[in-house]
Structure 1
Amino acid sequence: MVFDLEASGLDIRRDRILSIGAVRIEDLAIPLGRQYDRIVRAPGPLGLASRLFHGLTRADLERGTAPRDALAGLLDFAGDAVWLAFHAGFDRALLTQALKTHLSRRWDGVVLDLAVLAPMLFPDRARQLGPHAGLDAWGAVFGLAASARHAAVADALLTAEIALVVLRRAQQRGLRTWGALESAARAWRADRMGAGGPVF
């Protein structure tokens, strides 16, 4: 399952989830009929920069799904799937905090990071893009484009399309299980950090 969270800011202790998007990957395909897309009810004012960035209005957020229900729905949608995201650290931390706050639930799920897997498996493209390449840049290098950026489900779909390219390359390299892929990513990341270089 590939997921994306849009938030009111970058502080996981203070900012809140505004929308959740997720899609499934099944048999190296994306079943478009299986998507999870929720605007999350958020009380209080929303800054102008955030409104412009996400395109969500105060009315959208007032009509949104209660955080507890939106988060429970995401967990149900995920089931026992492997979780993937782009720049997964932020989304994972934000989700962990939200689950603790709204569902009193401790979550320690593993989230594979496409921002690590893509440069690991496509080093030539990574050198071309540079160390800070984001979702748009990786989508463009593979000839992909989001239908609407910074809408959670559109970003999740673009991430899933990148994941299909990455997973096919992983299979070609003999990485045929999620465990093998996670282990290779951990070793690649450790090697990069050990060499004094940033992961992204």
Structure 2
Amino acid sequence: MWTSLRRRLDRARLRDPAFAFLFEPPPPDEAVALDCETTGLDPRRDEIVAVAAIRIRGDRILTSESLRATVRSDRPSSPEAIKVHRLLNAEIREAEPLDAVLPALLRFIGGRPIVGYYTEFDVRMLDKSVRRQLGIRLPNPRIDVSSLYHAAKYRDAPDYVKIDLSFARILEDLGLPALPQHDAFNDALMTAMIYLQLRDLLARRVAIRREAAGPVETVAFGA
């Protein structure tokens, strides 16, 4: 109810009617895997330095339909952040600012659900630019693969079970390849693979065994 009301209010507040497509129904069974690399982990102070998005249609990851960009930041990355995203401050200074990249990114995403790993952080980082340009926050539905993984592995876990929602743990449990991380495109691609596999497991009501230590070992819910 609240989500529906907020969408109606945001649509009324939209500054540029050319972006009304964000509120339209997406193409059937499509989503977009999204990842942002940032100067740090504080959404109030840090900035995006790279973004990538890949379309998902049905059970296919459409790497030929993708968008990736390095983004200019006025906030230098710390040495620790550079070790993570491997983008030098000189590269970042020469890139386009997020406000220039954002229109193409929004057109690429459209009204599709955004799939991510701890999606709220990436969306919150993008929303700083979305609010400046459009006067709203991104209205797209969000799908967080860490939440799907929790549902598939820990839904009925007793309190004493240690919960591990790390990206590496998810990949290992699902038997998926670990590409070099903290590259926005690679992270978006791995997120898309995780999403499709977890969506299939949950649709078939198959859970990941909590004692699994290698490729996915499954059991029907309630077993």
Tell me what 2:110 maps to.
79
Aligned to 1:56: 87
1:152 to 180, 184, 190: 184
**CA RMSD of superposed structures (Å):** 2.2
TM-superposed CA distance for 1:66, in Å, is 2.1
CA distance in 2, matches of 1:121, 1:136: 16
Counterpart mapping for 1:26-175 below 5 A:
26-101=57-132, 103-107=133-137, 108-123=139-154, 130-173=162-205
> Take 1:142 and 1:65, find their aligned partners in 2: how far apart are those partners?
37
Q: Which runs of 4+ in 1 moved over 4 A?
A: none
Letter of the aligned partner of 1:51 in structure 2?
I
User: How far apart are residue 81 of structure 1 and its match?
Assistant: 1.2
AA at the equivalent of 1:45 = P
Inter-partner Cα distance in structure 2 for 1:44 and 1:5: 16
* Shift in alpha-carbon separation, 1:3–1:172, aligned structure 2, 3 A: same
* Equivalent residues of 2:37, 2:183 under 8 A apart: yes
Q: Which has the larger radius of gyration?
A: 2
Q: Percent identity?
A: 25
Matched pairs, number:
171
Deviation (angstroms), 1:38: 0.7
CA distance in 1, matches of 2:97, 2:76: 17
2: CA distance between counterparts of 1:132 and 1:97? 30
Distance 2:182 2:119 in 1: 15
Query: Whose strand fraction is larger, Structure 1's or Structure 2's?
Result: 2
Which residue pairs with 2:55 in the alignment? 24
Q: Which runs of 5+ in 1 are unaligned?
A: 174-200
Q: Tell me how far 1:32 sits from its aligned partner.
A: 1.6
Structure 2 unaligned blocks of 5 or more = 1-31, 206-223
TM-score, normalised via structure 2 length:
0.70
Higher helix share: 1
